[in-house]
Amino acid sequence: MKKSIIAFSGPSNSGKTTLITKIANEFIKQNLKVLIIKHDPADKAQFDVNGKDSFKFFQSGAEVMVLSPTRTTFFSHEKRDILSALKIAPDFDLCLVEGLKTLDLPRISVFYKEIDESYFAFSNAIASYEKIDSYPNLTWLDLNDVQRICNYILKNAKNLQGEL
């Protein structure tokens, strides 16, 4: 598998982050390089702490990269679409996208409790504890069966070869 992408959607507290983390762990165990992109539509994620050097640098208007022995973090003032973000991302085999529900990507919608049918129009699969039979054009995936979800991803993720 080289440079593939799949997206996840669902309401707040639907289990998206938990599922994506489990999936990433599974693929990393298989020696795949996993990239996760999280959409922050409300622009409320906290990336740095007020008073720290990197915060001050970013507030100055500069693009900021922080290098440490265990990570590299890049802060940019530029809004990027998914393809331009992927071009500056490190080498990866599989990109898991949380959110960006209007983006035309293979998509699994995640529901921990209540099923919200408004997500079905842009979904290819539904991951939930409750089996869903009434939508034959959507694949149902059991949230308890991470291995089956990973197999679904291997078969259905979009290949990005030639796009990057």
Ordered structural domains, the chain, with CATH: 4-44+82-159 (3.40.50.300)
Q: Greatest CA span in the chain, whole angstroms? A: 54
- Which residue is it, tokens 């991302």? 89
- Which residue is it, tokens 């970013």? 58
Residue type, 150: C
For residue 138, pLDDT over 70 is answered with: yes
Q: Can you tell me the mean pLDDT for 34-48?
A: 75
Q: Which of 4, 8, 1 is nearest to 164 (CA)?
A: 4
Q: Are 97 and 7 in contact (CB under 8 A)?
A: yes
Share of the chain above pLDDT 90, in %: 48
Measure the CA–CA gap between 159 and 93, rounded to whole angstroms: 10
Residue type, 80: R
Q: Which of 81, 94, 73 is nearest to 25 (CA)?
A: 94
Q: Which of 124, 122, 129 is nearest to 19 (CA)?
A: 129
For residue 1, pLDDT over 70 is answered with: no
Average the pLDDT over each of 24-38, 50-64, 88-102, 106-120 and give the range with the smallest value.
50-64
Share of the chain above pLDDT 70, in %: 93
Q: Model-level pTM?
A: 0.86
Cα–Cα separations (whole angstroms), residue 59 to 40, 55, 75: 19, 6, 11
According to the model, what pLDDT value does residue 18 have?
93
pLDDT level of residue 43 (50, 70, 90 thresholds): low
Q: Which residue has the higher pLDDT, 147 or 100?
A: 147
Average pLDDT of the chain to the nearest whole number: 87
For residue 97, pLDDT over 80 is answered with: yes
